[in-house]
Amino acid sequence: MGIPPFGMFSKVLIANRGEIAVRIAQTLREMGIGSVAVYSTPDSGALHVASADEAYPLEGESAGDTYLRGDKIIEIAVSHGVEAIHPGYGFLSENAEFAQACADAGLTFIGPTPEVIRQMGDKIVAKKVLADAGVPMLPGGSANDASGLKKHASRIGYPAIIKAAAGGGGRGMRIVKKAADLKQAIEAAQREAGAAFADSRVFIEKYIEKARHIEFQIFGDSHGNVVHMFERECSIQRRHQKIIEESPSPGLDPALRKRMGESAVLAAKTLGYSNAGTVEFMLDANGDHYFLEVNTRLQVEHPVTEMTLGQDLVRLQVCVANGAKLPFGQDDLQPRGHAIECRIYAEDARNGFTPSIGMIAHHAAPLGGHGVRVDSGISRGSLVTVHYDAMLAKLVVWAADRPAAVDSMKSALERYAVLGVTTNIEFLRAVVGHSAFAAGHLHTGFLDEHCSALAHSDEEPPPEALIAAAWALAKSQVDRSLGERVTQAVTSPWQEAGPWRSC
Active site residues: 297
- Beta-carbon contacts of 471 under 8 Å, excluding residues fewer than 6 positions away, are none
126 Cβ contact list (under 8 Å, min separation 6): 119, 120, 293, 294
Instruction: Judge whether 386 and 40 are in contact, CB under 8 Å.
Output: no
d(CA 220, CA 329): 10
CA distance 449 to 88: 33
- Residue 374 is classified by DSSP as E
Q: Where are the beta strands (DSSP E) in 267-330?
A: 275-283, 289-295
CA distance 100 to 80: 20
What are the angstrom distances between the C-alpha of 309 and each of 24, 139, 290, 300, 330? Answer: 18, 34, 25, 17, 12
Instruction: Tally Cβ neighbours within 10 Å of residue 482.
Output: 10
Query: Does an H or E element contain 203, and which?
Result: strand 202-206
Residues 268, 277: contact at Cβ < 8 Å?
Answer: yes
> Exposure of 470 by Cβ count < 10 A (0-12 exposed, 13-18 middle, 19+ buried)?
middle
CA angle 398, 400, 402 (to 5 degrees): 75
Q: Which residues contact 401 (CB under 8 A, 6 or more apart)?
A: 337, 338
The rounded Cα 150 to chain-centroid distance in angstroms is 34
Q: Alpha-carbon distance 70 to 50, whole Å?
A: 22
Is residue 242 within 8 A of residue 423, CB to CB? The reply is no
DSSP of 91-149: TTTT-HHHHHHHHHTT-EESSS-HHHHHHHHSHHHHHHHHHHHT--B-SEEE-SSHHHH
Q: Crossing angle for the helix pair 313-321 and 302-309, nearest 10 degrees?
A: 100
Alpha carbon distance 341, 45 (integer Å): 27
- Provide, for the chain, the percentages of residues in helix, strand and coil under a 3-state DSSP scheme, each rounded to the nearest 5: 40, 25, 35
Total Cβ atoms within 10 A of residue 325: 12
Distance CA 320, CA 304 (A): 21
What is the distance between the alpha carbons of residues 67 and 134, in angstroms, rounded to a whole number? Answer: 38
